[in-house]
Chains A and B, each alone.
Chain A
Amino acid sequence: MMFQDNNTRHDSDMFSLAMQRRMDMMLQNANKLFSLGWLRKRLWKEFVNLIGETPATEYGNYSRVLLGGYERRFMWEYLSVCQKSISDLKRILENAYDDTDPLKELLEEREELIREFARMPLSKTWECVKNDNHSWRNFARRLPFADFSRKEDITRFFLILDRISVITDILCRKAKEYGLEVDYSSLDTYDVQEQRKQISDEVLIEAIKSVGSFLTTDSTWTAVYCVLRDDYGIQNQSQFERDVQKFGLKKLAKCPDGTVSRTIANNVYLSLSIEDWPSDKKFTKLAAALREAIKAELAK
């Protein structure tokens, strides 16, 4: 059983549960974890600031300035390999055979790379890096820049990170940022998680107010939840209820805890997507009205 031939790295049976869970989570959240446009921008800004702060007399020793401190080392290592893999990916995209789809190849390659990335000791807390100003600094301080024997590991870490992030950007339809022309028509057939659209509270409140005449009973809030679930990927029912209570919309019905789950249990069709609901129900009309109201708010 254990030693069958023709096995690839995908048969990760022998890795611990913690590691397997980590790989799965990284693959599921790949688009979120590896969209690193924000990191490039922040690091570049940091770099420009650093040049501005450095006195002209120090220009001769600039490498020393760059290597002082873990955060600067992180900045330098990342920016120096940044987008190095574009020419290679361009070659893959342009020279594909007629019967193969380059985007599918990229998807498969990214999966392999993410599995390797998850197994790297240096990536231990990568999930804690978020789009803010201090989390990447925390991460940088943990990297063993002082340990000379791990220099190769660090270089490989940044190369893989860069390649994954560029592939992720291409798969998220941002290829134009790199000057690449990509045909995305085939992408819908693969199981790519689109980056979820975000909706701000202000827009949502205004849209809800404009359909206020529908929201007469507690259970009607379920339709609002279903719109958010289908269009914006919001899954947490009790969080939704708490949010609504926090909005404090006085003239409308309240949304006490447990409303959504109770209503969906009593009206099973609500667990389907909105397009499959029976058209004569009040919930369906409310959902359609709310969608239009949100669209109108966003257009403003």
Chain B
Amino acid sequence: MASKEREYINKMRRQYRSPIEWLKDVETRYGADAEQKLSYKEAQDIYSESIGWAIWNDIAMQDFWAEECGYGHQWNEDNPKPIIQKVLATLNTMADHLRRGRELGLSEMEQQVVDTLWGWVPHNYEDNYVACAREVSKAIVRLLPADTEIRSEEGYALYYNKVLGEVKKLAEKHDVDFDTSGYNLSVGYLYEWLSNEYGLVSEDACDWEE
């Protein structure tokens, strides 16, 4: 039964705060001078929670966080200023990106599909990508097996192939860059992200929660 998996995934998705919520939280606590007042520990929390949020919601965003504030940067407790600035700047960029998506009237899922198709965040929400994402998200919902069906790896492979075929058609229709003659990062993102929509969870994950 898929309802258990769906419940688990929804729980994981809501477990972390999104960049918009984090930014609101930081602004209410510190106002304009967040850069001076934010502590090293809090910057760590923002970074790791945002990565967690991105893993369950928007995979492209995960790579952006890792690129901007990942290991390559100086996480040094004695000199925390640079990394705190970096974390805040990234948080602002991400919240701004999500807000712009909302202003365009995109649902959460549609916005995530745009990010997946574009293969990178932030971006300017090109018209053809938005139009394509709207149709793709409809197809994703339409092709989803019924909740009564048991979720399995094989079932996911079938579902993924169906969606991929649909995405290819729609990408061609809207002139979206979706070349699959080699490894395309968008395809990798789609494969990872779609498993959440489908409800593919490792066997013991749901039981472990109880």
Contacts and interface: CB of A to CB of B under 8 A. Distances in A.
Interface residues of B, number: 30
Interface stretch (B22-30, B106-114, B188-196): B188-196
A64 B188 CA distance: 39
Contacts, number: 83
Nearest to A128: B182
Contacts of B90: none
Given A22-B188, A124-B186, A16 B63 contact: yes
B179 A19 contact: no
A7 interface: yes
Given A2-B48, A18-B185, A119 B75 contact: no
Contact of B67 (A119, A126, A130, A142): A119
Contacts of B63: 15-16, 19, 119
B66 A15 contact: yes
A127 B180 CA distance: 9
A272 B48 CA distance: 47
Nearest to A7: B71
Contacts of A3: 44, 75
Contacts of B70: 9, 12, 14-15
B21 interface: no
Contacts of A7: 71
A12 B179 contact: no
Contact of B192 (A2, A5, A13, A16): A16
Nearest to B177: A142
A14 B66 contact: yes
B60 to A, nearest CB: 8
B72 A128 contact: no
A261 interface: no
Interface in A15-51: 15-19, 21-22, 25
A121 interface: yes
B120 A18 contact: no
A11 B73 CA distance: 12
Nearest to B71: A7
A12 B62 CA distance: 12
B141 to A, nearest CB: 23
Contacts of A126: 182
B182 A18 contact: no
A13 B76 CA distance: 19
A17 B76 CA distance: 27
13 contacts: A2-B44, A8-B72, A14-B66, A15-B70, A16-B63, A16-B189, A17-B188, A18-B59, A21-B188, A119-B63, A124-B120, A125-B184, A135-B181
Given A14-B66, A15-B66, A130-B181, 15 more contacts: A5-B76, A12-B70, A14-B62, A16-B63, A16-B188, A19-B188, A119-B63, A121-B119, A121-B120, A124-B120, A124-B177, A125-B182, A127-B182, A129-B182, A138-B179
